[in-house]
Structures are given as structure tokens and as C-alpha cells.
Amino acid sequence: MLDDDDPLPTWKDRLLHPLPIAAILLVVVGGGLWGWDAWEDARRAREQQAVEPLEREWEALWARAPGRLAQVEAVLAGAPAAVEQRCEGLTGTVEVVHRPVLQGLAAGDRAPRPDAPGWLSSQAYRYLAHMSTPSLSEPAYRARHEVVAAALARPCVAVLETELAEHARARGNHELEGGGVVGWLRVVCVDEPRIACQARVASQPLFAVVVEQRDPRAQAGANATAASDAAMREHWEAVQAVLAQVGPGLTVVHD
């Protein structure tokens, strides 16, 4: 029973009570999260709308790939066994495509997935094989189209035929197993069908540079990334060294 002498609580007292404060905070935070989600949804919708015409452009660009790459495969299919051969007077830029990826794309496969690292192919062919995708933005889509269009327009492409193509695995924080790549790099020209030059290429990573993580689960991912990066780095350095010997006028494009 209330004492007649006790004053009734004022509006200020009621508002400063923990329950109303908690309710106000809940409304503010919930409204903020809802507003953020709505803004994010609207932003994604705008980005998706902006890239829709570029998706149609990409489909037209991709449709050019099988025919062009089938010509490359035809040159290789009719070629004798690989032997060391220098590029005579050949200059310019070439991308590299792993032979199984080339064969899949030439056959119309939109996502060839050989049991080998995707980084054996240059960025343009990883895009064509949908191993890499651009971020959802107009500049990223246009950059992808430029890279792929340039690769398909080049008269020559370097095809990597592998006898060994291992995924690299981390063993501990710095040791590696696997990651070896052995095979032939064959520069194939289509407009004047021929194998312009070819050379043996081999690489094997020895160690990986790993960033220490506080979370053991994150450490496993960091180790795997470091192992893959080490194998990729060694391989592309070997490719560049080989081309510098047999085709000094050629520049290889990786990314």
C-alpha cells in the first residue's frame, strides 16, 4: 500500500527507469539494423541492374571462345611429340592455358575442372573457365571483358601440357608437400597454324611464408593459402625463365 506522503513518479523518473531505457535502445538498434539491411539490399539491386547488360555482353564474348580454342587444340592434336624449340622472331604477349582447361573450353564446357591447381592458367582463361569471377561492380565486369577479349584476339597462346600438376599442402606452419609442376610449355599460333616454340618447364616450392594466426581454425586456412601461393609463385617464375630462354621477345601474362 502506498503511503499518502510518497510522491507519484514523474515522467522523468519513469523514462530513467532501466526497462524503458532498454526498450528504447532495442528499438534504436533494431531500427538501425533494419535500415542497414534495407540500404544493403537496395545497393545490391542497383549493382545487379548495372551489370545485367554486361552479363549479356559476357555471354557473347564467351561464345567466341570454343571455336577459337578448338583451333588451338587442332594444332596440338596434329603436332609431333614435343621437343625443345626456340621462337624465331616471335614477339608480343601471350597468356598461358593448362591443356585440360583448353580442351574443356574448346568442347564447350563452361566450367572445366581438372584435378590440378587453377593458377596454372592465366587470369583470362580462369575467367573463361569460371574459376575466377569479378566482384559485383561495373568496373570489375568491364575489366574482365577487356582481359578475355585481349586474350582471344592474340595470334598465339602458350599451352601448358603437364605430366605432374600437384596441389600444394601445408605440413606445419612452414613446410610443404606437393606443389610440383612438370611438363611442356608450347606456344601455339592460330592465324598461321603452327607451334612456334616449346620448352620443358618444372617447378617445386620449398617453403611457404605463413602469417601466424591467433585462432587455430584460421591458422589452417592461412597455411593452405601460403602453400598454394608458394607453389604458384615458383611455377610462374619458372615459366618466365623458360620463355626468356626460348622466346625472349615474348611476355607472359599471369594476372
Phi, psi dihedrals of residue 201, rounded to the nearest 5°: -135, 140
Pairwise CA distance, residues 63 & 239, whole Å: 29
pLDDT tens digit sequence for 93-132: 999 999 999 999 999 999 999 999 999 999 999 999 999 9
Regarding whether 232 and 145 lie in a shared domain, the answer is yes
Mean pLDDT of 177-188: 95
Q: At what angle do helices 18-63 and 65-77 cross, to 10 degrees?
A: 50
Q: Using an 8 Å Cβ cutoff, are 169 and 177 in contact? A: yes
* Higher pLDDT among residues 82 and 13, named by residue: 82
Which pLDDT belongs to residue 124?
97
The answer on 40 and 74 residing in a single domain is no
- Count other Cβ atoms within 10 Å, centred on residue 206: 9
**108 & 83 share domain:** yes
Q: Are strands 194-203 and 181-189 parallel, antiparallel or unpaired?
A: antiparallel
Residues 120 and 192 in one domain: yes
- On whether residue 170 sits in a domain, the answer given is yes
pLDDT score of 13: 57
Most confident of 7-11, 27-31, 172-176, 244-248: 244-248
- Give the single-character DSSP code of 164: E
Identify the residue whose cell numbers are 630462354: 245
Residue range 209-214: mean pLDDT, rounded: 75
Same domain, 79 and 182: yes
pLDDT in tens, 148-157: 999 999 999 9
Q: Is residue 2 part of a domain?
A: no
Domain edge (last residue) among 26, 41, 63: 63
What residues contact residue 47 under an 8 Å CB cut-off, 6+ apart?
136, 137, 138
C-alpha cell at 117: 591447381
Averaged pLDDT, 187-215: 88
d(CA 118, CA 128): 12
User: Could you tell me if 82 and 34 lie in one domain?
Assistant: no
- Asked whether 98 and 236 are in contact (CB, 8 A), the reply is no
Q: Give me the pLDDT at residue 45, please.
A: 62
Q: Is residue 167 exposed (0-12), middle (13-18) or buried (19+ Cβ within 10 Å)?
A: middle
Q: Is the pLDDT of residue 48 over 80?
A: no
Mean pLDDT of the chain: 85
Residue 125 in contact with residue 101, Cβ under 8 Å?
A: yes
183 grid coordinates: 611438363
Q: In terms of domains, do 139 and 85 share one?
A: yes
Q: Match 601471350 to its residue by C-alpha cell.
A: 94
- Over residues 2-10, the mean pLDDT reads 56
pLDDT at position 122: 97
Pairwise CA distance, residues 243 & 191, whole Å:
21
Quick one: 114 and 155 in the same domain?
A: yes
Range of the domain at 242: 64-253
**Confidence band, pLDDT 50/70/90 cuts, at residue 217:** confident
Alpha helices in 64-137 (DSSP H): 65-77, 99-106, 123-128
Whole-angstrom Cα distance, residue 136 to residue 44?
Answer: 8
57 and 68 share one domain = no
CB 188 within 8 A of CB 234: no
Q: Quick check: 220 pLDDT over 70? A: yes
How many domains, the chain?
2
Q: With bands split at pLDDT 50, 70 and 90, how would you rate the model's confidence at 42?
A: low
Per-residue pLDDT for 254 more than 70? yes
Evaluate if residue 139 carries a pLDDT over 80. Answer: yes
Handedness of CA 153, 121, 209, 222 (dihedral sign): positive
